[in-house]
Amino acid sequence: MSTEYSGSQPAASTRTTVKWHFPSVHPEGRRFGAIAAAVTALVALAGWTTVAWLCAGITLWVLAFFRDPVRAVPQDESAIIAPADGLVTLIQTVLPPPEMAGSDKLGDEPLVRVSIFMSVFDVHINRTPITGTVKDVVYISGKFINADLDKASEDNERQHILVERGDGVRIGFTQIAGLVARRIVPFVKRGDIVAAGQRIGLIRFGSRVDVYLPAGTAPKVTLGTHTVAGETVLARIGDGQAASGVIQ
Protein backbone atom coordinates (compact mmCIF):
# COMPACT_ATOMS: atom_id res chain seq x y z
CA MET A 1 0.00 0.00 0.00
CA SER A 2 1.41 3.41 -0.94
CA THR A 3 1.14 6.55 1.16
CA GLU A 4 0.72 9.94 -0.52
CA TYR A 5 2.47 13.05 0.73
CA SER A 6 0.04 15.24 2.65
CA GLY A 7 2.19 18.21 3.59
CA SER A 8 1.50 21.88 3.01
CA GLN A 9 3.51 22.17 -0.23
CA PRO A 10 1.70 21.95 -3.57
CA ALA A 11 1.47 18.39 -4.85
CA ALA A 12 3.27 19.37 -8.04
CA SER A 13 6.39 20.26 -6.07
CA THR A 14 6.74 16.68 -4.83
CA ARG A 15 7.07 15.47 -8.43
CA THR A 16 10.03 17.72 -9.22
CA THR A 17 13.12 15.73 -10.10
CA VAL A 18 16.18 16.81 -8.13
CA LYS A 19 19.53 15.51 -9.28
CA TRP A 20 23.01 15.85 -7.84
CA HIS A 21 25.57 17.65 -9.98
CA PHE A 22 29.05 19.06 -9.50
CA PRO A 23 28.88 22.52 -7.87
CA SER A 24 29.91 25.39 -10.10
CA VAL A 25 33.07 27.38 -9.36
CA HIS A 26 32.42 30.97 -8.33
CA PRO A 27 33.85 33.52 -10.82
CA GLU A 28 36.03 34.94 -8.03
CA GLY A 29 37.94 31.66 -7.93
CA ARG A 30 38.27 30.89 -11.61
CA ARG A 31 41.42 32.95 -12.08
CA PHE A 32 43.07 31.21 -9.12
CA GLY A 33 42.18 27.87 -10.65
CA ALA A 34 43.54 29.00 -14.02
CA ILE A 35 46.81 30.12 -12.43
CA ALA A 36 47.18 26.80 -10.57
CA ALA A 37 46.41 24.85 -13.75
CA ALA A 38 48.97 26.87 -15.75
CA VAL A 39 51.66 26.18 -13.15
CA THR A 40 50.76 22.49 -13.23
CA ALA A 41 51.09 22.42 -17.02
CA LEU A 42 54.48 24.18 -16.95
CA VAL A 43 55.81 21.78 -14.31
CA ALA A 44 54.54 18.79 -16.29
CA LEU A 45 56.19 20.07 -19.49
CA ALA A 46 59.44 20.46 -17.56
CA GLY A 47 59.30 16.76 -16.79
CA TRP A 48 58.92 17.08 -13.00
CA THR A 49 56.28 14.38 -12.74
CA THR A 50 56.03 14.13 -8.96
CA VAL A 51 55.75 17.90 -8.53
CA ALA A 52 53.24 18.04 -11.39
CA TRP A 53 50.95 15.59 -9.58
CA LEU A 54 51.24 17.68 -6.43
CA CYS A 55 50.36 20.84 -8.37
CA ALA A 56 47.40 19.04 -9.96
CA GLY A 57 46.11 18.21 -6.49
CA ILE A 58 46.47 21.85 -5.44
CA THR A 59 44.58 22.93 -8.57
CA LEU A 60 41.68 20.63 -7.72
CA TRP A 61 41.67 21.91 -4.13
CA VAL A 62 41.57 25.56 -5.30
CA LEU A 63 38.60 24.81 -7.56
CA ALA A 64 36.87 22.95 -4.71
CA PHE A 65 37.55 25.83 -2.31
CA PHE A 66 35.64 28.25 -4.54
CA ARG A 67 32.76 25.86 -5.23
CA ASP A 68 29.34 27.48 -5.12
CA PRO A 69 26.66 24.84 -4.51
CA VAL A 70 22.95 25.50 -4.82
CA ARG A 71 21.15 25.61 -1.48
CA ALA A 72 17.50 25.02 -0.47
CA VAL A 73 16.70 28.07 1.69
CA PRO A 74 13.92 27.60 4.32
CA GLN A 75 10.97 29.87 3.59
CA ASP A 76 10.29 30.77 7.22
CA GLU A 77 10.00 34.45 8.13
CA SER A 78 11.05 33.77 11.73
CA ALA A 79 14.18 31.81 10.78
CA ILE A 80 17.70 33.18 11.06
CA ILE A 81 19.69 31.19 8.51
CA ALA A 82 23.35 30.24 8.90
CA PRO A 83 25.51 32.61 6.81
CA ALA A 84 28.41 30.16 6.54
CA ASP A 85 29.33 26.50 6.18
CA GLY A 86 31.40 25.36 9.13
CA LEU A 87 31.62 24.33 12.75
CA VAL A 88 29.92 26.18 15.59
CA THR A 89 32.89 26.74 17.90
CA LEU A 90 31.67 29.52 20.18
CA ILE A 91 28.29 30.59 21.60
CA GLN A 92 28.71 33.57 23.92
CA THR A 93 26.81 36.53 25.30
CA VAL A 94 28.80 39.65 24.42
CA LEU A 95 28.41 43.33 23.70
CA PRO A 96 27.92 44.20 20.02
CA PRO A 97 31.05 45.46 18.23
CA PRO A 98 31.41 49.27 18.48
CA GLU A 99 30.81 49.54 14.73
CA MET A 100 27.38 47.89 15.14
CA ALA A 101 26.39 49.33 18.53
CA GLY A 102 23.92 52.14 19.14
CA SER A 103 20.17 52.65 19.04
CA ASP A 104 20.10 52.77 15.23
CA LYS A 105 21.98 49.46 14.92
CA LEU A 106 22.18 46.51 17.36
CA GLY A 107 21.83 48.52 20.55
CA ASP A 108 24.16 48.62 23.54
CA GLU A 109 23.06 45.57 25.51
CA PRO A 110 24.78 42.15 25.41
CA LEU A 111 23.59 39.76 22.67
CA VAL A 112 24.13 36.10 21.95
CA ARG A 113 26.92 35.63 19.41
CA VAL A 114 27.22 32.40 17.42
CA SER A 115 30.63 31.87 15.82
CA ILE A 116 31.01 29.57 12.80
CA PHE A 117 34.55 28.49 11.92
CA MET A 118 35.22 27.66 8.26
CA SER A 119 38.09 25.30 7.58
CA VAL A 120 39.89 25.34 4.23
CA PHE A 121 37.67 22.40 3.20
CA ASP A 122 34.34 24.20 3.74
CA VAL A 123 32.40 26.20 1.16
CA HIS A 124 33.43 29.84 1.63
CA ILE A 125 30.52 31.63 -0.03
CA ASN A 126 28.66 33.54 2.71
CA ARG A 127 24.92 34.23 2.67
CA THR A 128 22.61 36.65 4.46
CA PRO A 129 20.71 35.22 7.48
CA ILE A 130 17.48 37.16 6.80
CA THR A 131 15.59 39.08 4.15
CA GLY A 132 15.93 42.83 4.42
CA THR A 133 17.92 45.94 3.56
CA VAL A 134 21.67 46.19 4.06
CA LYS A 135 21.85 49.10 6.50
CA ASP A 136 25.61 49.15 6.94
CA VAL A 137 28.83 47.54 5.72
CA VAL A 138 31.97 48.34 7.72
CA TYR A 139 35.39 46.99 6.76
CA ILE A 140 38.21 47.00 9.36
CA SER A 141 41.78 46.05 8.62
CA GLY A 142 43.54 43.96 11.23
CA LYS A 143 45.66 40.93 12.06
CA PHE A 144 45.49 37.37 10.74
CA ILE A 145 45.55 35.25 13.90
CA ASN A 146 43.74 31.91 14.09
CA ALA A 147 40.06 32.64 13.43
CA ASP A 148 39.10 29.88 15.89
CA LEU A 149 40.28 32.06 18.80
CA ASP A 150 37.86 34.29 20.68
CA LYS A 151 40.02 37.42 20.24
CA ALA A 152 39.83 37.12 16.45
CA SER A 153 36.49 38.97 16.66
CA GLU A 154 38.33 42.09 17.87
CA ASP A 155 41.82 41.73 16.36
CA ASN A 156 41.50 40.26 12.87
CA GLU A 157 40.68 41.83 9.54
CA ARG A 158 36.89 41.80 9.42
CA GLN A 159 33.77 43.16 7.78
CA HIS A 160 30.55 43.92 9.66
CA ILE A 161 27.23 43.69 7.81
CA LEU A 162 23.94 44.89 9.28
CA VAL A 163 20.64 43.79 7.70
CA GLU A 164 17.24 45.18 8.75
CA ARG A 165 13.92 43.50 8.06
CA GLY A 166 10.80 45.41 7.08
CA ASP A 167 9.49 45.14 10.65
CA GLY A 168 12.65 46.71 12.10
CA VAL A 169 14.36 43.55 13.35
CA ARG A 170 18.11 43.81 12.76
CA ILE A 171 20.70 41.08 12.41
CA GLY A 172 24.41 41.83 12.47
CA PHE A 173 27.05 39.42 11.28
CA THR A 174 30.80 39.68 10.80
CA GLN A 175 33.10 38.09 8.24
CA ILE A 176 36.48 37.51 9.89
CA ALA A 177 39.70 36.72 8.04
CA GLY A 178 41.75 33.91 9.55
CA LEU A 179 45.28 32.63 9.79
CA VAL A 180 45.42 31.80 6.08
CA ALA A 181 42.65 34.05 4.75
CA ARG A 182 43.91 37.33 3.35
CA ARG A 183 40.95 38.81 1.56
CA ILE A 184 37.29 39.48 2.32
CA VAL A 185 35.33 39.91 -0.90
CA PRO A 186 31.91 41.66 -0.58
CA PHE A 187 29.05 41.13 -3.03
CA VAL A 188 26.71 43.71 -1.45
CA LYS A 189 26.80 47.35 -0.38
CA ARG A 190 24.79 49.66 1.87
CA GLY A 191 21.23 50.10 0.62
CA ASP A 192 21.00 46.76 -1.21
CA ILE A 193 17.89 44.65 -0.66
CA VAL A 194 18.74 41.00 0.01
CA ALA A 195 16.73 37.80 0.35
CA ALA A 196 17.42 35.24 3.06
CA GLY A 197 20.13 32.89 1.85
CA GLN A 198 21.37 35.26 -0.85
CA ARG A 199 25.13 35.28 -1.49
CA ILE A 200 26.70 38.35 0.11
CA GLY A 201 30.45 37.67 -0.10
CA LEU A 202 33.29 35.26 0.50
CA ILE A 203 36.50 34.99 2.49
CA ARG A 204 39.54 33.43 0.90
CA PHE A 205 41.20 30.41 2.51
CA GLY A 206 39.90 29.69 6.02
CA SER A 207 38.02 32.07 8.28
CA ARG A 208 35.01 32.66 10.53
CA VAL A 209 31.60 34.33 10.63
CA ASP A 210 30.01 35.72 13.81
CA VAL A 211 26.22 36.19 14.00
CA TYR A 212 24.59 38.43 16.63
CA LEU A 213 21.10 37.23 17.54
CA PRO A 214 18.36 39.73 18.50
CA ALA A 215 17.42 40.13 22.16
CA GLY A 216 15.15 37.33 23.38
CA THR A 217 16.34 34.93 20.70
CA ALA A 218 18.24 31.76 21.61
CA PRO A 219 20.30 29.58 19.26
CA LYS A 220 18.85 26.40 17.80
CA VAL A 221 22.36 25.02 17.26
CA THR A 222 24.90 23.81 19.80
CA LEU A 223 28.66 23.73 20.03
CA GLY A 224 29.93 21.21 17.51
CA THR A 225 27.04 21.64 15.06
CA HIS A 226 28.18 21.75 11.44
CA THR A 227 26.12 24.41 9.67
CA VAL A 228 25.23 24.70 6.00
CA ALA A 229 25.03 28.26 4.67
CA GLY A 230 21.57 29.13 3.39
CA GLU A 231 19.99 26.01 4.91
CA THR A 232 20.72 25.52 8.64
CA VAL A 233 18.39 27.43 10.96
CA LEU A 234 20.55 29.11 13.61
CA ALA A 235 17.62 30.54 15.56
CA ARG A 236 14.04 31.75 15.28
CA ILE A 237 13.35 35.39 16.05
CA GLY A 238 11.68 35.78 19.45
CA ASP A 239 12.13 32.12 20.41
CA GLY A 240 14.11 32.08 23.64
CA GLN A 241 14.25 28.29 24.02
CA ALA A 242 17.85 27.23 23.34
CA ALA A 243 18.68 23.89 21.78
CA SER A 244 20.66 21.31 23.70
CA GLY A 245 23.03 18.71 22.34
CA VAL A 246 25.99 16.50 23.08
CA ILE A 247 29.13 16.15 20.97
CA GLN A 248 29.82 12.44 20.41
| Stronger pLDDT, 226 or 207, i.e. the higher one | 226
- Note the pLDDT tens digit of each residue in 136-181: 999 987 655 554 555 455 666 889 999 999 999 999 999 988 665 5
Please report, rounded to a whole number, the percentage of residues in the chain having pLDDT higher than 90.
49
Q: What is the mean pLDDT of the chain?
A: 84
Catalytic-role residue among 2, 119, 207, 244: 207
3-state secondary structure of 61: helix
User: What is the per-residue pLDDT for 177?
Assistant: 80
Please tell me the number of Cα atoms within 13 Å of 48 on its side-chain side. Answer: 11
CA dist., res. 42 & res. 10, Å (int): 54
Residue 6 among the catalytic residues: no
For residue range 96-114, list pLDDT tens digits in order.
999 999 999 999 999 999 9
User: 94 pairs with which residues across the strands?
Assistant: 111
Q: What is the pLDDT of residues 5-22, one digit of tens each?
A: 444 455 445 556 777 777
Q: What is the pTM of this model?
A: 0.80
Q: What is the mean pLDDT of residues 214-227?
A: 94
200 pLDDT above the threshold of 90: yes
27-34: long-range pairs with CB below 8 Å, 24+: 28/66, 28/185, 28/202, 29/62, 29/63, 29/65, 29/66, 30/66, 32/62, 32/66, 33/59, 33/62, 33/63, 33/66
Question: How far apart are the C-alpha atoms of 220 and 239, rounded to whole Å?
Answer: 9
CATH code: domain 79-236 is: 2.70.70
The conformation of residue 143, written as its DSSP 8-state character, comes to B
51 CB burial (10 A radius; 0-12, 13-18, 19+) = middle
